[in-house]
Structure 1
Amino acid sequence: MSTIMDVLIIGGGPTGLYASFYAGLRDLSVAIFEAQAELGGKINFYPEKMVWDVGALPPTKGKKVKEQLIEQAKLFNPTVYTKTKIVALTKENDLFYAEDDLGRTHIGRTVLVCIGGGVVSPQKLPCFIHNNVDDFIHYQFPDQQAINGKHLVISGGGDAAVDYAIEAASYGAKVTLCYRGEQLRAHEAQVKKLTTEGIHVIMNHTIDGVNQADTFNMILTLKNSQTKERIDYLCDHLLIQHGYDRDSALLDRVSFDLAKHEDFYLNCEIPTKTSHPGVFAAGDIHYFAGKVNLLAGAFQDAAQAINQIKHYLDPASVPQAMVSSHNEKFSEMNHQLLVNE
C-alpha cells in the first residue's frame, strides 16, 4: 500500500516548491507531482530572463532562481515525482487518492493545488522534424553561450518572440525572426527596437520542415503563407515561440465539488481554503479578493496554505511556524554557514 502523505502538492512550480519547504518547517510529510520533466514551472520558460519581483533578491536569472527554489524545496526530503501528471482525484474516508497518468495511486490526508494557470506545455511544430536536430530545437530560451556567434531562427511574432530576438542578439547571436503574419503582434516599442538592432525579419512564412544540414546544424523549409512557395534556410538553432497549451482538466475530474471563479480559478473565500475540506490552493490557480499575482505573492500563498493544512490536520497546533531565523531546525546549518563565512 502507498505511504500516506500529509500533503499531496500538485504542481512543482515556485508555489509548490516553496510549499514543500514550508511544510518541512511544520513537520508535514510531502509528495510533489510535476507533469513536466523538470521542476520549476513557468520559470523554465524564461531561464535567461531576470527576475525582479522577489523582496531582497537582486535581479537574478530565472534558471538561478529555479535552482535555489529546488534546493530549498528538497531540504526536508519530500518525495518528488516529475513527468507525472495527476489525472483524477477522489476522496474516501477523509483520505484523498490521486491517480497519475502511469496508473499509480498516491494517498494523502490533504491536497494542495499549485498548478498555476494549468499544466502549461509549449505548442510544438506540427511539421516533419529530422531526429538528428532535436538538440538544436528549443521551446525555451537556449543557453547564451550555445548561441554566441551562431545563427538562431526564432519562429513567432508575439512579445516573447520579439523580446527573445533582441536578447539573443545581445548575446552575440545572428538572429532571424520568422513569422506567419503580415505584422508582428509584439509591443510597438519592442518592434521598433528590433528594427533598430537590425534583426532580420521574414514575414508571411511558416516552418514546413526541419532537416539535418551539412555546414549548419539544420536546414529549414520555409513556406510562404500566401503564395505557398517554399525556400530552404540554414541555421544553427531554432527557438519556437508559438504560445502554450493550458490543461486544467484535473479540476473537472474530481469526485467532489470545487467552487470556481470565472469558471477556471479555484474560488477561496478565505485565502488558500477551497470550498471542499482538505483541499487547498496556492499561487495563480486560486482566487480571493485582493490576490496578488506576483512571484512574491506565490510564496505568501504557499506559507498560508501550509499553515491552514497544519491546522486542518491538527487543530491544536500553533498558527504558524517559527520564523526561519530562529527556527531550531536550522541551528546546525546556521552554525556551519557562519563558520564558512
Structure 2
Amino acid sequence: MDTVYDVLIIGGGPAGLYASFYAGLRDMSVALFEAQSELGGKLNFYPEKMVWDVGALPPTKGYKVKEYLQKQATLFEPAIYTNTTIKEWQKEDNRFVLTDQNGCLYYGKTVLVAIGGGVISPQKLTCPIADGLAAAIHYEFPNQQAIDGKTLVISGGGDAAVDYAIEAQSYGAKVTLCYRGETLKAHEAQVKKLRELDIEVLTNQTILSVAAGDGSSTMALQLQANEAKTAVTVPCDHLLIQHGYDRDTSLLDQEVIALARHSEFYLHCASPTKTSAAGMFAAGDIHYFDGKVNLLVGAFQDATLAVNQIKQFIDPQSVAYGMVSSHNEKFHEKNQALMAHDQEKSE
C-alpha cells in the first residue's frame, strides 16, 4: 500500500529543513525532497562565510548552520530524498501526487513548496581544462585553510565575486579578480574597498583554457583581452568561478495545478504561506506576500506558520500552533539526556 504523508516538502534548504522539524513536532508525517545531492540550499554556496542573522546563534560558518539544521530536521525521522527532482504535481482522490525525474510517485495530504530561488546550479567553466585540476577549481568559497598563503584567481564581476575577493585576502590568499566586462557590477562600496586593498583586477579578460602549472603553481590560466589577438598566462593555485547560476523553474510552470505568481516567478500568497491552490503551501524565498522578509530568520517564521496552517488544513479541530519547546513533552527525555551529559562534563 502506498504511504500517504501528511506533508510533502519540496526543497531541502533552511525553510524546508525547519518545516520538517516543526511538522514532526506537530505529529505529522513528512517526506522531504531535495534536487541536489546535499541538503542545505543556499548555505551550500557559502560554507565558509559567517552567518550572523540566526537568533541566539553566535556568528557561525554556513556549513555549521547547515549541520545544525539537518540534525534538527531529522529529529522526528522524516523520509528524506536527495538527488530527487520533483517534476510534476497533481491531485487524485483528494491526495496530492508528486512525480520525480525517474517517474517515482509520492503521495501526501498537503504540499509545502520551499524551493527558494528554484533548482539552481552554478554556471560551470566551459573552456578546456587539463586533467587533474578539478580539486583546485571551485564554484563555492573554498576552505580558508586551503587558500592561506596561496594564489587565488576569482572569475566574475558581480557582488559575490568582489565580496569573495575581499574575504579571501583576509584569509591570507594572494587574490586576482578577472572579469570579462569593462566595469565591475558589484556594489560601489565593495568595489571601492577592493581598490583600497590593492587587489589586482583584470577587466575585459576571458579565460580561454586552464592548463597544469609548472611546479611553482597548480595551474596556468590563459587569459585573452576582448580585442587582443594574443593571450597572457596567469599562474595560480586555486580558481573560483562566480559566473552566476542556472535556475530550473519548470516545476512552477506546469498547468495541471497552476499557482498564482508574482513577478513571473515567486508564488503569490494573498495571506502568508497560503498559495492559490487549497492544500498547497509555500515557505522561504519562493513565495511573496506583503511584508515578506527575505532573510534566514524569515524562512524559519514562514516554515512555522506554514506547518501550523497545514495542521489545521488536515485537522480543522487542531490547535493553532504547537506547544513551546521548553514545555513540550516530546523533549522531556532528550532534555534529561542533555542535562546528564552536561553534569558529566562538569564533574
**TM bucket normalised to smaller:** over 0.9
Q: State the shift of 1:205 in Å.
A: 0.8
TM-score, normalization: structure 2?
0.94
1:223 is displaced (CA, Å) by 2.0
Is the contact made by 2:90 and 2:98 (CA closer than 8 Å) also made in structure 1? yes
Any stretches of 5+ residues in structure 1 without a counterpart? Answer: none
* CA deviations over 1:184-223 (Å, ceiling 9, x no partner): 1222222222222221222211112123334122222212
Report the Cα distance in structure 2 between the residues aligned to 1:161 and 1:29, rounded to whole angstroms: 41
In the alignment, the residues of structure 1 paired with residue 196 and residue 264 of structure 2 have an alpha-carbon distance, to the nearest angstrom, of: 43
1:190-209 matches, within 5 Å, as 190-209=190-209
CA distance in structure 2 between the aligned counterparts of 1:77 and 1:208, rounded to whole angstroms: 48
CA distance in 2, matches of 1:186, 1:222: 22
Q: Does 1:79 align with 2:79?
A: yes
Q: Which amino acid aligns with 1:146?
A: A
The answer for the alignment partner of 1:39 in structure 2 is 39
8 A Cα contact 2:220 2:235, kept in partner = yes
- Whether contact under 8 Å (2:10, 2:115) holds in the other structure is yes
Equivalent pair of 1:88/1:254 in contact (CA under 8 Å): no
Structure 1 runs (4+) greater than 6 angstroms displaced: none
Q: 1:323 matched to which residue of 2? A: 324
Whether 1:232 aligns to 2:259 is: no
Q: 1:120 to 1:199 in 2, by over 3 A?
A: same
Can you list the C-alpha shifts for 1:126-151, whole angstroms capped at 9, x where unaligned? 21223411111111100001111111
Aligned residues: 341
Asked if 2 retains the 8 angstrom alpha-carbon contact of 1:89 and 1:254, the reply is no
- The letter of the residue matching 1:321 is G
Name the SS for the 1:90 alignment partner: strand
Matched, 1:279 2:291: no
SS in 2 for 1:340: helix
Q: Give me the CA root mean square deviation.
A: 1.4
Amino acid at match of 1:252: D
1:1-341 map, 5 Å: 2-215=2-215, 216-341=217-342
- Distance, in Å, in 1 between the alignment partners of 2:264 and 2:182 is 35
| Partners of 2:87 and 2:101 within 8 A in 1 | yes
How far apart, CA to CA, are the structure 2 residues paired with 1:206 and 1:3? 52
Q: Distance in 1 between matches of 2:130 and 2:311?
A: 51
- Match in the other structure for 2:345: none
Output one character per residue of 1:243-267: Cα deviation in whole Å (capped at 9) or x when no partner. Answer: 1122222011251231222222212
Q: Deviations over 1:132-190 (max 9, x none)?
A: 11111111100001111111110011111111011111111111111112221222222
Distance in 1 between residues matched to 2:164 and 2:340, nearest whole Å: 42
What percent of counterpart residues are identical? 65
Indicate the larger mover: 163-172 or 126-135: 126-135
**Alpha-carbon separation, structure 1, partners of 2:35 and 2:227:** 38
For each residue in 1:275-310, what CA deviation from the matched residue of structure 2 results, as whole angstroms up to 9, or x when unmatched?
111111111111222211111111011011111111
Structure-1 separation of matches of 2:35 and 2:20? 16
**Deviation (angstroms), 1:228:** 4.1
Q: 1:30-77: CA deviations, max 9, x gaps?
A: 111111121111111112222222222222221211111111111111
Kept in 1: contact 2:181–2:204 (CA 8 A): yes
- Please give the alpha-carbon distance, in whole angstroms, between the structure 2 residues aligned to 1:24 and 1:134: 40
CA distance in 1, matches of 2:3, 2:225: 56
Give the TM-score taking structure 1 as reference length. 0.96
**What amino acid maps onto 2:226 in structure 1?**
S
Letter aligned with residue 311 of structure 2: K
Give the letter for the 1:52 counterpart: W
Q: Residue 224 of structure 1 contacts residue 230 of structure 1 at CA under 8 Å; is this kept in 2?
A: yes
Residues 43-52 or 170-179, more deviating: 43-52
